[in-house]
Structure 1
């Protein structure tokens, strides 16, 4: 008789949903505030926000994979392995933060080559530059949130998330619009608010880790080069997979931006609204991944299949519940973000149509998210990276052909929906095959 893993999943999922949703919630807050500032700023936060997630997504996915190592060691009952795994994520964060700081300015200049209107490109460049320069904070936060989740203490992650969201909301309102005696900085204020909130979250995580003795544990802190290489061998492909996915959607937005500011703004808002469905689903997927890590670490591979399918069922129920308002209430949802600029009516009308695409592909995205997380936690990161690279390459090639031969928002969004469906089907078939059983995460496991 198969075990029911849903109660454990839901217990873990609530805090992890909040953690996974942090960045998109911050960008939703920024979008709402910026809609009171200018249409150009709202249009800009779509591509620039996706670009931030593109680079930071690779970095904090790589550092956050520490949570998978922690979960496997937790399943084994290895206390030293748990703390050492957390330090693997911190070491990655230190390197990643320095690289992001060095790359921030040259990468920000690329927005001026995208062919967008001058004011939109300027806003894109500013937002990206500030957020990228502060990348160390969300990256180290991801590593330590992974440590807490892996040992079954995600409630602390919830508390840190609430604090960081409050900091972001207050500072964004003050710095974007010049309230409470603060300077009116527009989109730069939104970026500063986001980085400040991530800084506060990182400090809180480091405080909790220090209280546990993690910072002064010299044995755990010492870098084991062989284990670090093993960690990177599994974590970097997963980071690349996430990076390639976000890159594909960033290019998608950049191509849409050539159709006009209204089309870009509507698509940007549609992605922000879609985040309210996607990131909670990602939290469910990450919770499923933790359960998989505990099971595999304890040598209970037979439980993994049941964890995967039960988690997918829960996620599908969530996605259906979100798809209904997306489909039937697209116009009022878009109106929340469109502001009162002269272009707002066009943005709302276009966005309401796009929300129907979002509602449809949400139904398939559940498999993308949950099965992808389960396979990653099982250690199947190389297969995920290779196959997503291939799928994304096909998607971008077709997107470029459509943009060159018959550009139009309907054709491009139809292609995007087919892309989501195709990857979901491929992930499903891989998990069903059971080939992930032949991969080990920790040394000495099969």
Structure 2
């Protein structure tokens, strides 16, 4: 019996073509990168404006924003798994199941909005416990309240966008998010500084602009879905179904671990930010600015991670794990190329990036605001850490997306739990409490945390365990019936 011929290694040219190739990865992923880039731009502009209004407001915005996102993140993690169900049903040629999958996400989003409205009142006690400087606590609590109270719009927007991304229609997602950014940025400017006849609200205005942008994107997604002939005819979106227990159970089975994972990841970063805040205003402000600049790196790569989830989910629905593996490898290479380029900018040009956050002379300053020169000096050092762990973070983010698309969310959740507690929060708490390591100690722990996640997710994906996970009900092989 003759041996099977060896498969030649793929070249750049061969990786471009075919299912899971660079072309397909970029077709799906590039609009998502732009979409996430628009979110980055909104957050970045928001913090630049706040930094120019008051150092205390930029110091308050990141911990409060991350803490609010901590609660939103759990619900967003669940809602984002609508895209996994949609992609797998589309891959299995079962369009009639796409509509019910979306509707369960909508019902979940409405319930999440009610819960978030109750959680919005927790900001005051949380920031009092954190022990931050007194001049920023009230600002943190107010910013948290507005963002969390209006967080239901962001959850619903995540669900609705997941319908389009699961069908690999990522251009509408990009356009809607760009429209939201186009509204949010001028609203930020007007409401923070009191321009164009608007009141000067400072950090309150920034929060209101963010909520308004999320509500606007929801309206645009709803309009697009209701006007889509495919959504009405093939996916039965126009009918208002009752909650489907079986479909809701499928969403929660993969979504709850994903939501907990998202919660744990944000909790780890929130705890990190809160603990660093105990070191002083300079350390807190420099860390918050470094995180804001870091978002320029990782949020576009999250777009590629979503593309990995979509392509892996579709391939699993088609029962083609080989294509899923190929797509993941190609998306990983694209991610690393992006991370390397942006990380190089952080090393070579840290000063101009940090200078964007310098408070405009003569604008509101509170007693105890530190000199920007001190913040800038610390920020240059921290951007070197960001450049160091950016490549590692690219590996973690892409493999996370691939495992999520296959439904392997429980492993991701457990890994995140172990790493966030054992590698980040407890060591940073110990360093801060003992006064060991200064600002370097916590940031070295953050780098180790990202490396632990990257290694764990990479080994899990390469083990192939995800190939045997079944997310949707078993159906005849997709080739047994045509996909129109």
Shift of 1:201: 0.4
Shift of 1:20: 3.1
- Residue 276 in 1 paired to residue 296 in 2? yes
CA–CA distance in structure 2, aligned partners of residues 186 and 378 of structure 1: 43
1:186-241 deviation line (CA, Å, top 9, x unaligned): 10000000000101001111111222365874767332112211210110100110
- Residue 33 in 1 paired to residue 49 in 2? yes
Change over 3 Å in CA distance of 1:166–1:397 after alignment to 2? same
Shift of 1:427: 0.9
CA–CA distance in structure 2, aligned partners of residues 21 and 260 of structure 1: 31
- Residue 434 of structure 1 is matched in structure 2 by 464
- Residue 412 of structure 2 is matched in structure 1 by 384
CA–CA distance in structure 1, aligned partners of residues 237 and 337 of structure 2: 43
CA–CA distance in structure 1, aligned partners of residues 356 and 24 of structure 2: 35
Stretch moving more, 20-29 or 66-75? 20-29
CA–CA distance in structure 1, aligned partners of residues 96 and 307 of structure 2: 23
2:428–2:445 contact (8 Å) kept in structure 1 = yes
- Residue 403 of structure 2 is matched in structure 1 by 375
Q: Which has the higher helix share?
A: 1
1:80–1:220 contact (8 Å) kept in structure 2 = no
- Residue 273 of structure 2 is matched in structure 1 by 253
- Residue 63 in 1 paired to residue 63 in 2? no
CA–CA distance in structure 2, aligned partners of residues 34 and 406 of structure 1: 30
- Residue 147 in 1 paired to residue 163 in 2? yes
- Residue 346 in 1 paired to residue 374 in 2? yes
CA–CA distance in structure 1, aligned partners of residues 224 and 124 of structure 2: 34
> Normalised by the size of structure 2, how large is the TM-score?
0.89
1:84–1:220 contact (8 Å) kept in structure 2 = no
1:263–1:350 contact (8 Å) kept in structure 2 = yes
- Residue 124 in 1 paired to residue 140 in 2? yes
1:52–1:128 contact (8 Å) kept in structure 2 = yes
1:97–1:139 contact (8 Å) kept in structure 2 = yes
1:16-415 alignment to 2 at 5 Å? Answer: 16-212=32-228, 217=237, 221-340=241-360, 343-394=371-422, 395-407=424-436, 408-415=438-445
1:176–1:184 contact (8 Å) kept in structure 2 = yes
1:33–1:173 contact (8 Å) kept in structure 2 = yes
CA–CA distance in structure 1, aligned partners of residues 428 and 38 of structure 2: 30
Shift of 1:73: 0.9
CA–CA distance in structure 2, aligned partners of residues 91 and 52 of structure 1: 22
Secondary structure of 1:185's aligned partner:
coil
Secondary structure of 2:52's aligned partner:
coil
- Between Structure 1 and Structure 2, how many residues are aligned? 446
CA–CA distance in structure 1, aligned partners of residues 207 and 310 of structure 2: 31
CA–CA distance in structure 1, aligned partners of residues 242 and 35 of structure 2: 28
Shift of 1:108: 4.5
1:338–1:347 contact (8 Å) kept in structure 2 = no
> Normalised by the size of structure 1, how large is the TM-score?
0.96
Change over 3 Å in CA distance of 1:183–1:308 after alignment to 2? same
* Structure 1 runs not aligned, ≥5 long: none
2:78–2:259 contact (8 Å) kept in structure 1 = yes
1:141–1:202 contact (8 Å) kept in structure 2 = yes
**RMSD of the TM alignment (CA)?**
1.7
Stretch moving more, 128-137 or 3-12? 3-12
1:27–1:49 contact (8 Å) kept in structure 2 = no
Secondary structure of 1:221's aligned partner:
coil
Which one has a bigger Cα radius of gyration?
2
CA–CA distance in structure 2, aligned partners of residues 190 and 422 of structure 1: 35
1:300-329 deviation line (CA, Å, top 9, x unaligned): 112121111111111011100111011121
